[in-house]
A and B are shown apart, each in its own frame.
Chain A
Amino acid sequence: MVIEIPLVNITARNTHIIPFEFEYYEPRSLEEALELLAKFKGEAKILAGGTDLLVKMKTRIIEPKVIVNIKRIQGLRYIIEENEHIRIGALTTLRDIEKSTIVEKNLPALHDAVKVMGSIQIRNMATLVGNLCNASPAADTAPPLLVYNARVVAMSTRGKRFIPLEEFFKGPGITALEPDEMLVEVIVKKNNKGSSAFEKVSRVVVDLAIASAAVYAEISSDGVIEDSRVAVGSVAPKPIRTRILEERIKGLRLGSEELKKAIYEIDREISPITDVRSTAEYRRHIVKVLVWNAIERVYRRIRGECV
């Protein structure tokens, strides 16, 4: 048997520069941006913070012919609290979210997540929407937003559609967006009954997750889980909600053996792999600990013991 040894074009990579040319557009309005996307279809890539896109371009993972830099579009950087909803615009940075009291108060799991993402420099440049559109299985903002049942708003010259986040992720690097669509906003319904938390484990402090977990839960004052939503990262081809687990932990008491056992049910829903960051076995193990820790933290939050 002859095994084909794949060629690795190392010469093409060059992180000093962007090693190839592209056409560049700097739309001043949403309409202009959408028209460009409609015109170039799959050839164009949106540039937001660039912390994923430019790295991928320098290392030749992608070579877009056209770059549409959306950062000059006015009115896309906001966090708005509106009745029952919180809306976050496409140009809102992770640092904006970190500093937002609206987020800290209403979406603590998302707040937890951004605080442990990258460095301050990265958070200052990177956008929440970029994190979602990059669609890494390790995207840290995904599990929190999944447990909030967030929806995203996609726009194109053809119109606007609302996509539940769970349907937005299709696989590693793949989203439900059509090539001419732009994600303009994330909408989260507030839910004040319970609370939420996010946990992550990584190799060093500044790193992508080996695995992560977010939990939204309503827990009685004596520590019984009344309702919950759980989502995990880096243990499947995309960030996922774990519904079987949610069902199984209902009615269980915090810290109990039953709860621990129930968390093992997550094995049926995840499909971790071994990669350069860690092993499949470890991910299988750690994701349970993360879910457990997140539940504990939610409870402490509900009781006002931690922020």
Chain B
Amino acid sequence: MCINMVKVAFKVNGEHIELDVSPRELLINTLRSKLGLTSVKYGCGIGECGACTVLVNGEPVLACLTLTVDVNSKDIITLEGLSKNGLTDIQRAFIEEGAIQCGYCTPGFIIMAEYMLREVPNPTISDVKEYLKGNLCRCTGYINIFRAVLKAAKSRVSR
């Protein structure tokens, strides 16, 4: 089947979406321009910075290297979806630990931190580095981000 304009249907942050897209449309642009989900940031377009990270069926995916047709029938979570019911423990820890400066990288980090805590509830500092090494931050030097993630992990485990 050759496809020129494609009908896609998927879930974003729990909401059903149906769209006609060109096969060359990228998920990052669909989310940002068509759905207004601008927490998904463009930082490089080539997989290097992690600012466009979203969860697709619970797994972290770079929206800049994903065709929108490819998420047909899948379930996508962006940062907007994570904090629907108020700030998460990770978000609060980011604020408390000064893990944000310009904030441009922050959505990608929070998504990855969320993913990590689901996979590794009790992470070591090496785990944190491993899970976050695909997200570039030029402002914070990462150190307060580590603190924030470890703090959130602690509070989650103790809950």
Q: A: which residues have CB within 8 A of B?
A: 15-18, 20-26, 47, 50-51, 54-55, 58-59, 67, 69, 71, 95, 118-122, 124-125, 205-206
Contacts and interface: CB of A to CB of B under 8 A. Distances in A.
A16 B23 contact: no
Contact of A16 (B42, B47, B50): B42
A205 B133 CA distance: 8
11 contacts: A15-B64, A24-B23, A25-B2, A47-B67, A50-B65, A120-B115, A121-B62, A122-B134, A125-B66, A206-B48, A206-B134
Contacts of A23: 2-4
B112 interface: yes
Nearest to B134: A119
Nearest to B59: A124
B26 A121 contact: no
A21 B47 contact: no
Q: Is the interface of B mostly helix, strand, loop or mixed?
A: mixed
Contacts, number: 90
Given A16-B45, A69-B67, A69-B69, A118 B24 contact: no
Nearest to A207: B48
Contacts of B65: 50-51, 54-55, 125
Contact of B2 (A16, A24, A54, A58): A24
B53 interface: yes
B125 interface: no
Contacts of A124: 59-61
Contact of B6 (A24, A47, A51): A24
B104 interface: no
A121 B134 contact: yes
Contacts of A47: 67
- Shortest Cβ-Cβ A-B pairs, 5 listed: A119-B134, A15-B45, A24-B23, A18-B24, A55-B46
B6, B53, B60, B131 — most chain A CB neighbours (10 Å):
B60
A131 to B, nearest CB: 14
A208 B77 CA distance: 29
B3 A26 contact: yes
Contact of B62 (A71, A125, A206): A125
Contacts of A67: 23
Interface string B32-62: 0000000000101111101001000001111
Interface centre among A59, A119, A125, A205 (most CB of B within 10 A): A119
A51 B47 contact: yes
